Amino acid sequence: MTKHKILSFGELLLRLSSSGESFLGEDGQVVVFPGGSEANVAASLGQWGVPCSYLSRIPDNDLTSQILSTLTSLGVDVSSSLLEGDRLGLYFLLSANGLSKGEVVYDRKYSAFSQLKPGMIDWDRVLDGYTWFHWSALTPALSESLAEVCREALTVANAKGLVVSVDLNYRNRLWNYGKNPIEVMPALLQYCNVVMGNIWAANKMLGTSVLDTLGRDTAADIYFEHAKESAQEIFDLLPQCQHIAYTFRFMDTATHNLLYGTYHTREADFISSINETDRVIDRIGSGDAFMAGLIYALVDGKEGQKVIDTAIAAGFKKLFVKGDFGNGDL
């Protein structure tokens, strides 16, 4: 495997999820998992033996110590994380296995991470020795200050010659500080070499085209053509971008998932096989596992079809693992 050292940056979260149909039902029990998109990516990479570190800002208490110990046990270096502030961000999953009806409630305001300001992290020092920087659109969604922190990190990463990857996670409930993604993201994405998301998130964040007529019943080969067009628009917009991957995920019931993906370079386009199941255990973190699989494949020097096949396998296998982090199945 090509020698890379990856730093993943984002908010560490606690997930509180229902064990039954109702979060507050008489028979309901709340199950707690550590998570957060960028931590999930690091957890997968660590389990696959990729040198990987995780940076967040979190309070210094016994709970966060347990979470950091878990990440360490999965092969993630957490020594970069800042032990500061008063509280962890939370999110509540009101269904048993995740997003069957989009039932997520965020409690992330006033968290230690949300209060990060420009100048608080010495990015030149933090990024020294790394070859790859990973972030996601969830961070600049939280505040103008965090968007500026991302710009600081990306400027330094670019100057140091790091590969930069981004997940275009779009959560409309998080963008509530008076800015739309299209006003913030294009300037940040200029620094990115690897972009992962879907054609709808790309539209929200870069203004690329997507048809309103596309839906659940649109055939994979039709989506592939639209993915090619969307990717080409991104390549035109982002001169440094060399790799784009999209997921296509559809769910008909709480335990159903249909998943496939596309991968695009400036020279060629690839599509995975279609993976479908009616036995979903936990769909949270599947997209993060896909992101990790994409990074793993590129770090390993895989090409073309192997890249998307590796990423989609990681994302699909996560559907059968409880919790956000996954079990390292690839």
Q: What is the pLDDT of residues 54-101, one digit of tens each?
A: 999 999 999 999 999 999 999 999 999 999 999 999 999 887 655 555
Give backbone dihedrals phi and psi of 145, rounded to 5 degrees, phi first.
Answer: -65, -45
Q: Which residue has the tokens 């296998």?
A: 317
Q: What is the pLDDT of residue 140?
A: 98
Average pLDDT taken over every residue of the chain: 94
Three-state DSSP at 55 gives strand
Which of the four pLDDT bands, split at 50, 70 and 90, describes residue 26? low
Q: Which residue has the tokens 């208490």?
A: 61
Q: What distance in Å separates the CA atoms of residue 272 and residue 259, rounded to the nearest whole number? A: 9
* Burial class of residue 161 in the structure, from the number of CB atoms within 10 Å of its CB (0-12 exposed, 13-18 middle, 19+ buried): exposed
Tokens found for residue 125: 């020092």
241-256 confidence digits (pLDDT tens): 999 999 999 999 888 9
